[in-house]
Amino acid sequence: MEQWQKDIKESIDDVETLEKMLGVPAEEVREIVEQYPMRITPHVFKLIREKGDSIWKQVVPTAEEDHPDAACDSEDPLHEEKDSPVPNLVHRYPDRVLLVITNQCPIYCRFCTRKRFVGSPGTLTPENLKQVVDYISAHTEIRDIILSGGDPLMVVDMLLERVLKALRAIPHLEIIRIGTRVPGTLPSRITENLCNMLKKYHPLYMNLHFNHPDEITPEVAKACGMLADAGIPLGSQTVLLEGVNDDPEVMKRLMQKLLSIRVKPYYIYQADLVKGTHHFRTRVEKGLKIISALRGHTSGMAVPHYVIDAPGGGGKVAILPQDTLLYLDDDQAIVKNYEEKTFKYSQPNVPKEVNKDAASFWVVPHDTD
């Protein structure tokens, strides 16, 4: 048994151990955990400093998960099951698909988009994999696949390689991506054997899930370094969470720390409308405030896209502060920077009949004098 598998066995995954280790009364959360499984790895347990801190809130179940939610909340708010042509595969965008290869995760985030099934038994079977390969092979417009779950790195190397090898045999499938929270919550899983196996299947990318700067530890930095040294470009995905990271300074420290361990900030997600997660959601204005606070106040490399994954399967929609482009016409653009100063940018001279893009933009009129 490898060290990471021992760490999983030593994780907190029952209410009696939770009560013993963290003082949470077992009877308060027993029904919650029966519905929505819990797992806290030894690594994450060590990061908890006090009750209710930013790490605690992400992993410790609470009775709030069973409170009546907003009417719009759903078990499957992104309509993934509706967009699933074969089991385990989601095909929403024209040229890319998402493949769920396991329901298991190193930890079970209390705000998870797939709260409805993560933690339940289930791993991609050879029969399922054949259906997936047959579907992708028949749809030559698909050039990009994201391995997700659960967490793809929770399966052993041999099974993960079986999936990667089958996908790499599809000629028109150019890019493979892996979405994972393992490096930040189970860093012992990132081994030399895993890295040596992964680098045989380039171009391979990884998006890593981090929500708070306290998650960036020396062990995590080492794990990310091993992946980066294997030639895997690393990006980050962060969920905006009430009381966890909904603060511009906290988010700035997280993004800066990610860059320092060779992870490029990619997305900040507005929390999805998932049943049982209402207490985690912030107003969209908070996300806009955070993006405005990042721009110009830290490296552009540290500024991710802020997105809402549109309810009902509409896909990701980038949300931007609306006051940076103040005016646009055939002659000039007027823009505002992070210091609230305005600047004029002269447009190149192009005959109006050639400038086909002019009617594509609408900007609130601005006094140019």
The pLDDT-based confidence of 120 (bands split at 50, 70, 90) is: confident
Q: Is it true that the peptide bond before 171 is cis, omega within 30 degrees of 0?
A: no
pLDDT over 70 (residue 360):
no
Sign of CA dihedral 344, 346, 351, 355: negative
Pairwise pLDDT comparison (279 vs 74), residue with the higher score? 279
What the block records as the tokens of 321 is 């502060």
- The pLDDT tens digits for 267-318 are 999 999 998 999 999 999 999 999 999 998 999 999 999 999 988 888 899 9
Domains of the chain (ranges, CATH numbers): 89-318 (3.20.20.70), 325-360 (no CATH)
Q: Residues with catalytic annotation?
A: 92-93, 96, 105, 109, 112, 114, 272, 309, 316
Tell whether 195 is in a known binding site.
no
- pLDDT for residue 39 is more than 90: yes
Amino acid occupying residue 113: T
What is the amino acid identity at position 319?
A: I
> If we measure between CA atoms, which residue out of 295, 212, 292 comes closest to residue 251?
212
CA distance 292 to 270: 15
Task: Report the SS3 class of residue 102.
Answer: strand
| Angle value at C-alpha 66, between 63 and 72, nearest 5 degrees | 140
CA angle 6, 258, 278 (to 5 degrees): 75
pLDDT reported for residue 283 = 92
Please state, in angstroms and rounded to a whole number, the distance separating the CA atoms of residues 196 and 192. Answer: 6
Amino acid symbol at 125: T
Cα–Cα distances (Å) from 354 to 285, 327, 351, 358, in that order, read 39, 21, 5, 9
- Nearest C-alpha neighbor of 257 from the set 320, 306, 205, 301: 301
Residue 336: DSSP 8-state:
E
Whole-angstrom distance, CA of residue 21 vs CA of residue 2: 24
What is the overall mean pLDDT for the chain? Answer: 92
Ligand-binding annotation for 224, yes or no, is no
Render pLDDT for 169-220 as a digit per residue (tens, 0 to 9).
999 999 999 999 999 999 999 999 999 999 999 999 999 999 999 999 999 9
Those residues whose C-beta lies under 8 Å from the C-beta of residue 86, and which sit 6 or more positions away, are 128, 131, 132, 134, 135
Q: Is 109 annotated as a binding residue?
A: yes
pTM: 0.90
Asked whether the predicted pLDDT for residue 16 surpasses 90, the reply is yes
* pLDDT value of position 154: 97
Specify the 3-state DSSP secondary structure of 80: coil
Predicted local distance difference test score (pLDDT) of residue 74: 84
Q: How confident is the model at residue 73 (pLDDT cuts 50, 70, 90)?
A: confident
> pLDDT tens for residues 214-264?
999 999 999 999 999 999 999 999 999 999 999 999 999 999 999 999 999
Over range 354-359, report the average pLDDT: 56
